[in-house]
């Protein structure tokens, strides 16, 4: 099975990710991982660090001559900010001269300090920071490469920033990611994108932050990933956990969950049709069946059904404000105050969309490996292809 583990603090020496369970023979280059890391830095509204910091990556292990060996893949991403932080973040014994005692409301600061018995919020915030998502995206680039071997493409686009929403019927296809990334806010609807930029400028002016929603869509997912048989094997459950683990994400919706809750059953589900007599690329992954609509977001009973897998991911406004106004308490004096000031982004929703792509890719790649197995990429692909051929030949229930 696919597993990954990250290590690293936001202003530490660097991040490391180890990805275990990839089959041998997957083509991997530093450039391809670097391209995904570059995409995560996109988006109007990010702070100055995104401009001056580069993600310097090194493939430490698991890749030889441009392909995986089946051993753990380790990637290091150096923090080019490190020289400015060597003292403050030094691993050597010592104490800080600048402890942060005024936790930010909405951040991990206070519960983290209480739980781990710290009096300096930096001991929590360094790891809680979304800098860690760079390591995840490196892992996600590998997952995406594996999914590409079986024709699965994962895309994302921003559908809401603050109160500005894109037109609901504007949805990128599998080949539209460059167009999304060309938008300043990674929004597929150009007129909404303009309003989103204006919304970010207005929030920046008053030192405030903005949340929003990104939609993630996986095309070409074969029917049969995930399972109805156990709570912890349901694909929607796995996606929910993965998405909610992204820093500042508070909600996940699969398909039209919220809208569907207000409809009657006769209008909330997706009628089934048989199109296997005239196979098309759209029916290959679903064994010849299609759904007339995709309100379920490609998942029924915790199992992918062959339609695009669709998740909407909601991010709260960042808890770090350029003009802290929310009341907090100094943990030493217990006096009312406002939080310490920390450099921040106005919004990171466009980048969160890329991280959500990563998490969707890691979940789908893990489930595809569970279903198809294979120690080499060829074996993995062969198992996938023969499964689909058996479905398309026989149809469900025979």
Site string for ligand EPS, 345-364 (x = CB under 6 A): x-------------------
239, 360 in Cβ contact below 8 A?
Answer: yes
Q: How far apart are CA 147 and CA 26, in angstroms?
A: 10
Q: For ligand EPS, which is the closer residue by CB, 305 or 320?
A: 320
Q: How far apart are CA 133 and CA 88, in angstroms?
A: 22
Minimum distance, C-beta of residue 337 to ligand EPS, in the bound complex (Å): 20
Q: Which of residues 10-49 bind ligand EPS (CB under 6 A)?
A: 10, 47, 49
Q: For ligand EPS, which is the closer residue by CB, 149 or 342?
A: 342
Minimum distance, C-beta of residue 169 to ligand EPS, in the bound complex (Å): 31
Q: How far apart are CA 45 and CA 212, in angstroms?
A: 12
Q: Using alpha carbons, list the distances in angstroms from residue 246 to 136, 223, 243.
A: 10, 26, 6
Q: For ligand EPS, which is the closer residue by CB, 8 or 62?
A: 8
Q: For ligand EPS, which is the closer residue by CB, 122 or 384?
A: 122
Minimum distance, C-beta of residue 50 to ligand EPS, in the bound complex (Å): 6
Minimum distance, C-beta of residue 232 to ligand EPS, in the bound complex (Å): 29
Q: For ligand EPS, which is the closer residue by CB, 49 or 316?
A: 49
The 3-class SS string of 273-337 reads EECCCCCCHHHHCCCCEEECCCCCCCEECCEECCCCEEEEEEECCCCCCCCCCCEEECCCCCCEE
Strand, coil or helix: 118: coil
Q: How far apart are CA 58 and CA 74, in angstroms?
A: 9
Residue 171's CB is within 10 A of a number of other CB atoms, namely 17
Q: How many residues does the chain have?
A: 398
Q: With contacts defined by CB under 6 A, how many residues of the chain interact with ligand EPS?
A: 13
Binding of residue 344 to ligand EPS (CB under 6 A):
yes
164, 192 in Cβ contact below 8 A?
Answer: yes
Ranges of H-type helices in the chain? 30-40, 49-52, 109-116, 122-128, 133-148, 177-182, 190-205, 235-244, 257-261, 265-268, 281-284, 349-372, 377-394
The window from 95-103, 272-280, 301-309, 340-348 that contacts ligand EPS (CB under 6 A) reads 340-348
Q: For ligand EPS, which is the closer residue by CB, 50 or 268?
A: 50
54, 66 in Cβ contact below 8 A?
Answer: no
Question: 274: which residues sit within 8 A by CB, 6+ positions away?
Answer: 288, 289, 290, 395
26, 146 in Cβ contact below 8 A?
Answer: yes
Minimum distance, C-beta of residue 348 to ligand EPS, in the bound complex (Å): 7
Minimum distance, C-beta of residue 124 to ligand EPS, in the bound complex (Å): 11
Minimum distance, C-beta of residue 134 to ligand EPS, in the bound complex (Å): 5
Site string for ligand EPS, 301-320 (x = CB under 6 A): -------------------x
Minimum distance, C-beta of residue 77 to ligand EPS, in the bound complex (Å): 9
Site string for ligand EPS, 214-243 (x = CB under 6 A): ------------------------------
Q: For ligand EPS, which is the closer residue by CB, 51 or 230?
A: 51
Q: What's the longest Cα–Cα distance across the chain?
A: 75
Q: Which of residues 88-147 bind ligand EPS (CB under 6 A)?
A: 129-131, 134
Q: For ligand EPS, which is the closer residue by CB, 108 or 216?
A: 108
Minimum distance, C-beta of residue 25 to ligand EPS, in the bound complex (Å): 31
Q: Contact residues for ligand EPS (CB under 6 A)? A: 10, 47, 49-50, 129-131, 134, 320, 342-345
């Amino acid at each position: 099975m696919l597993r990954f583990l990250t290590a690293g603090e936001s202003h530490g020496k660097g991040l490391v990710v180890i990805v275990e369970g990839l089959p041998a023979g997957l083509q991997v280059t530093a450039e391809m991982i670097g391209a995904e890391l570059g995409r995560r830095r996109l988006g109007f509204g990010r702070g100055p660090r995104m401009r001056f910091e580069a993600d310097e990556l090194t493939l430490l292990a698991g890749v030889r001559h441009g392909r995986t060996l089946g051993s753990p893949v380790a990637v290091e991403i150096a923090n080019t900010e490190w020289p400015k932080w060597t003292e403050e973040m030094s691993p050597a014994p010592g104490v800080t001269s600048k402890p942060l005692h005024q936790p930010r409301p909405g951040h991990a600061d206070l519960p983290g300090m209480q739980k781990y018995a710290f009096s300096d919020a930096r001991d929590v915030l360094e790891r809680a920071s979304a800098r860690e998502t760079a390591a995840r995206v490196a892992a996600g680039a590998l997952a995406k490469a594996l999914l590409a071997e079986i024709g699965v493409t994962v895309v994302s686009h921003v559908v809401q920033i603050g109160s500005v929403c894109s037109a609901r019927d504007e949805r990128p296809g599998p080949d539209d990611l460059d167009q999304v990334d060309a938008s300043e806010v990674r929004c597929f609807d150009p007129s909404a994108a303009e309003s989103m930029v204006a919304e970010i400028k207005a929030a920046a002016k008053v030192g405030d932050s903005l949340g929003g929603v990104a939609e993630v869509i996986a095309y070409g997912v074969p029917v049969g990933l995930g399972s109805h048989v156990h709570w912890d094997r349901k694909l929607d459950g796995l996606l929910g956990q993965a998405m909610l683990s992204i820093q500042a994400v508070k909600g996940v919706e699969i398909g039209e969950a919220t809208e569907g809750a207000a409809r009657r059953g006769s209008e909330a589900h997706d009628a089934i049709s048989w199109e296997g007599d005239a196979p098309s690329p759209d029916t290959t992954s679903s064994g010849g069946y299609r759904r007339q609509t995709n309100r379920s977001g490609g998942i029924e009973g915790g199992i992918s059904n062959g339609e695009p897998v669709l998740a909407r991911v909601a991010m709260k406004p960042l808890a770090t404000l350029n003009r802290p106004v929310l009341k907090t308490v100094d943990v030493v004096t217990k006096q009312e105050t406002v939080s310490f000031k920390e450099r921040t982004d106005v919004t990171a929703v466009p980048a969160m969309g890329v991280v959500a792509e990563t998490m969707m890719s890691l979940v789908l790649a893990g489930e595809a490996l569970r279903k198809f197995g294979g120690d080499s990429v060829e074996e993995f692909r062969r198992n996938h292809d023969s499964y689909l051929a058996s479905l398309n030949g026989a149809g469900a229930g025979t």
